[in-house]
Structure 1
Amino acid sequence: MKAIGYEKAGSIAEETALIEFEAARPVPGPRDLLVEVRGVSVNPVDVKLRQNVQPEKGPGILGFDAAGIVREIGSEVRNFRIGDEVFHAGDITRAGTNAEFHLVDERIAGRKPASLDFAEAAGIPLTAITAWEMLFDSFALKEGEGAGETILVIGGAGGVGSILIQLAKKLTGLTVVATASRPETVAWVEKMGADHVVDHRKPLSEEMERLALTPKYVAALTHTDQHFEEIVRLIKPRGHIALIDDPGVLDISLLKTKAVSISWEFMFTRSMFETEDMDAQRALLNRVSALLDEGTLVSTVQRHAGDLGVENLREAHAFQESASAIGKTVLGGFQSE
C-alpha cells in the first residue's frame, strides 16, 4: 500500500522531510479494524514527532486522525462490520493514518458522522476525545452540571479549543471564556460559541477581573508555562487546571494556598496501556458523531489541504507549525489512480 512517512527527525523545510513509499498492507489483530483511509487531519502531535523522534525501523508513518471504510475485521470484533464508515484517532504506539489502510482497535473507533464527508469527519476524533476527557474525566463534570461556574479555555481557536468550547456550551452549564488575540481567531471562537473572549497577550488575571468572572476550571491548551502564574492568580480556590502541552517546569507549590488540582490530559493513554475503560473512547466518539448529525455540534475544520500526497501534507505540516492555524486542517485520502 502507499504511505507517507519520514526517515529523519527534523525541519519540514528539508526536501526529504516527508516521503512516499510502499508499505505492507497491515493484517488485523483480534480486536482490530482494517480501515481504508478516506480522510485524515494534521495535529500538533504529528509535528512534534516529526521534529523530535527518530524512527527506529524504516520510515515512520504519522497521522492520528482518520475517517474511512472498514475493509477487514479481527476475529473478536463485536461492534463493527465490513463496510461500516468509521472515524478514529488511532494509537500513538502503532503506525499512523497517512496511508491507504490503517489498523485501529475497535474500542477506540466510532461511527462516522453521516452529515460530514470523510475529510471533514477526520478533523474531529483526536480533539473531541481530548476535550471530552478534559471536561468529564479531568474536571469530573457530569453532563448538565456547571451552572454558575466558569471555564477559561486558553488557546480557544486551536483544534482542541474549538470543540471544547462547543462541548462545554452544549453539554454543561458552564460560562465559557476563551482566549484569542487576532480578529480572525476572535471571530472563530465566537462562532464556536464562547460567551466571552479575552486576549492572551494581556495579563489574564486582569482580563478576567474585567469580566468580573473567577474560573473554577482552566483548560490550558497552549503555552501553559507562560501563563501559569496568571492562572494561579485568576483561578477560583479549590479549582482545577487541566493541560495538554509540554511545559518544561511548573512550580505547583504555587497552587497550595488555593488547594488547586492539576492534571494532564493525554488522549492516547487509554490505548497505550489498554486500560479497562478503553471502550469509553468508542462510546464518546459515537456520542460526538450523533451530536454532529443532529446539529448540536458543528465542524471545526477551517482548511482543506487537498488529497493525501507529499506536497499537500508538507504544506499542511508547515501551516500547523506557523502558529496561525485555526480549527483543524484536513486532507482527503490518496487519490485513486
Structure 2
Amino acid sequence: MADSGQLALLLHDGVDAWNAWRKEYKGVVPDLSGAHLTKADLAGGGGVGANLYRANLRDANLFGANLQGVNLREADLSHAELGFTIFGDTNLSGTIGLEYCRHTGPSVVDHQTMMKSWPLPVAFLRGCGLPEALIEYFPSLVNEPIQFYSCFISYSTRDDEFVHRLYADLQVKGVRCWFAPEDIKIGDRFRQRIDDAIRLHDKLLIVLSENSVQSAWVREEVESCLEREQRENRTVLFPIRLDDAVMNTNEAWAASIRRQRHIGDFQEWKEHDAYQKGFKRLLRDLKPENKNGNDTR
C-alpha cells in the first residue's frame, strides 16, 4: 500500500489514477497530512474520508471533487478552483485561503461542515452559493454574536475605484454590504429597491468627496438617515471622506456632520499604510459592541 508521499504523487498523476487506487483500497483512509499538492488536478476526484490536515492545495483544481468527510483542517486552499464541489461533514477548521478560492460554479456545503468548521469566511460561503439569509443568521444558530453591522455603501460613480476596493475588503472581513452609485438612483425603476436596501442594512456608509458633496442625492440620503437615527435612537450614518470637500462646503447637512461625527479619513487611500489605518478604524466602528446610547458617530 502507498505511503503519504506516494499518494501525493498519485494525486499529481491525475484523478483517474487516484480514483483507481481508491477503488482498489476501499477500506483504507488515505493519510495525506502535510502533502504538497499545489496545482494538483483533482477535478471530479473522490477524496471521501481522506486526511489532508495541513496539506498544501494552493491553486489545486477541486471542480466537482467529492470532499465528504475529508479533514482539511489547517490546509491551504488559497486560489483553489471550486465548483460543484461537495463539502459534506468536511472539517474546514483553520483552513487557509478559503476567502480567496475561485468559484466557477456553486458548491455544496452542508450543515455538518458548517457546525464543525464555524466560523467560515463570508466570501467563501457566498462563492459556494449559500443563501444570504442562511449566511446572515447562522451565527445566531451556533450562539455566536454577529461580528459586524451590515452596511449599504452610497457613493459617486467617479469614486468607483476606491469603492470597489473597499467593498472587496469588507467582504473578505465578513461584513455584509451592498452598494449602488448615485447615478443608478436616478431611475424610478431602481429607487424603491435601493430605498429598501438602505432600510434593511444596519448602517449607511456614505463616501464623501468633491464628486458627491454637491449632489442632491447625498443631501437627501444624509437627511433621511439622520431622521431615521432620531426615530430609532441609534447611529446609522457612517460618513467617510476622500478629500476636504465636506469640510469646506457650506451645506447645512455637512456642517451638522462636521460638528457631530467622526468622518473616516481615506484621503490617502492609494497609500497602503494610510488605507489600512482608515480601514481598521472603520472595521472597529462596525463592530456591534461599539454601539452605545451616547455614540456620536
What TM-score, normalized to structure 1?
Answer: 0.27
What TM-score, normalized to structure 2?
Answer: 0.30
- Structure with higher strand content: 1
Q: Which has the larger radius of gyration?
A: 2
Higher relative contact order (CA 8 A, sep 6+): 1
